[in-house]
Chain A
Amino acid sequence: MTRLGIAGGIIQVVVITGGAPLLAGVMRQVRARLEGRAGPGIGQPWRDLRKLLRKEPVTPAGTSELFRIAPLVLLATTVTVAGVAPFVTDTSAVGPAADLFAVAALLAMGTATLALAAIDTGTAFGGMGASREMTIMALAEPTLLVAVFALSVRAGSTSLAAVVTATLRDPARVLSPAGLLAAAALALVTVAETGRLPVDNPATHLELTMVHEAMILEYAGPDLALVELASSMRLAVFLGVLATLFTPWGIATTAAPLALAAGTAAFAAKVGLLGAALAAGEVFMAKLRLFRVPELLAGSFLLALLAVTASYFLAV
């Protein structure tokens, strides 16, 4: 544990927890403006969370403890990833946990727990949403791993911090075919894992199409606030991984206050820009039929696999 790693870990948790609802607010605002609406302002998700947190906790009759701890597990895993992944600083507070497999497993654990809680409610929508979410996750997870493999092949390590350091040392790698193919694959996975268009529409409660919203339909009050906060943090974490792996510039390499401030600002700017771009892209997109989603994810898997193969035969 280095000073840099610990400082980075604390800053990242604070910035992502505080900033993730703002990121969601920015994305909704961008979307609203592009659709010609005034929009509620970027502070609206925080106001919603405050409102939900003040309500009394209510759980459906017949649900077990799993239903109550699922939001906590989802939030805990996301906070852990937010703390250990190299977002603001290029070293991690807990080195082994910044490994690709650990990060992917932590994020998957949160989703799987939420799916179990959705089944626990015993409603038709909960089961349907859980089944869809698991289908999408099972298809997206291999792509996530293989896409980051393409980068870790050249870094010689699956540690995200090592990959980031290697990219910082040799920036030309990002523009290699392996880097670009992996970036495309990872962007598609990010869209699928965070439930954005065209895989899932976060703004609708239409029973035929909803995935994530169907799973959390039975949550209310503070529990719903936790789930909403964790979901927006998940989006920030995925966009952060995408931004840090492919554009690591600006990341703090020393524990000097100025470097840390610059790293935080760079991280916030990168994630904000990516989020705004994603929201702008969503305006021009329609939701894909659920049966076409495997096609999209098979395509992204192929891109990731080509990235790994290309990193072998097109060794720059």
Chain B
Amino acid sequence: MDSSPSAHNDGKESSGGVPRPPTDVFLHNAVHLSACLGVAPRPPGAVFLTAVFFGGLFLWTALYLPLAVPVWLLLTRAGGVSSANAVRRLVHCYGRVCCKLLARLTPVTVENLAGALPAPCIIAANHQSFFDPYCIGFFPVPYPVFVVRAWPFRIPLYGRIMRRAGYLNIESMDAESFLRKAADILHRDKAMLVVFPEGTRSADGKPGRFRSGAFRLAVDRNIPVVPLCIKGTGNVFPKGSRFGRPAPVRVTLLPPLYPERFACYGESARLHLRRSVKHAIREALQERPHC
């Protein structure tokens, strides 16, 4: 039997003959002390993950920006790619590296049950953490166009890149303008619209209420919707916490849902499509409870 001080202690006497409380009592006391001080206890690896991830993100961003400009010029001048599509492609490459960085720090499982994605299409994802938009980098989505609220457009540099990429500020337009602009982009650029229909991150990991805008677009313009189930990013980067922590992540692209299947519902087709997408995501979240 290992009697070293670092060995697991189950409440028996230590090598010095003084009874020690079990390890989980220490843990309980640490949690209690943290709660008294109003500080969330940090699980093992939290500081390492946070430092490496955000340090890596900062380094990668600093390296990538000077590289991206000549590549953008090459794509637009020699490659015949539109300016917005070139920015979208560059953003996707940036996201791919961010995904690889996360996968180095925590177990990540990626599943594509959708096969080759139809283009154009709408990717509708549940939202658990700030990392979720990067999750598109796990899949071959060459020209993602994000539908974003107003505040991210105010982030220096990011906002400028988002405007260059033609991302849609949902809070700056009415329903008709959104339908028209989104449909134009999707058909003209063969792009893929990425939406988080909850509009905000879920605090408990369960999908919240879905907004209808993207589903109205899908029904009006007959564009397939591909549900994306993101599970575990909310545990890695909890809402309201400054520290990340290692936890399993599973990202699953689910089979597309085609709006013509819902045409029989008439004016409420968008609501039925919305429910089906949410149901598919909820089912995928419930499968394999431990990722």
- The answer to whether A and B come from one shared complex is no
Chain B positions near chain A (C-beta within 8 angstroms): none
A residues lining the B interface (CB < 8 Å): none
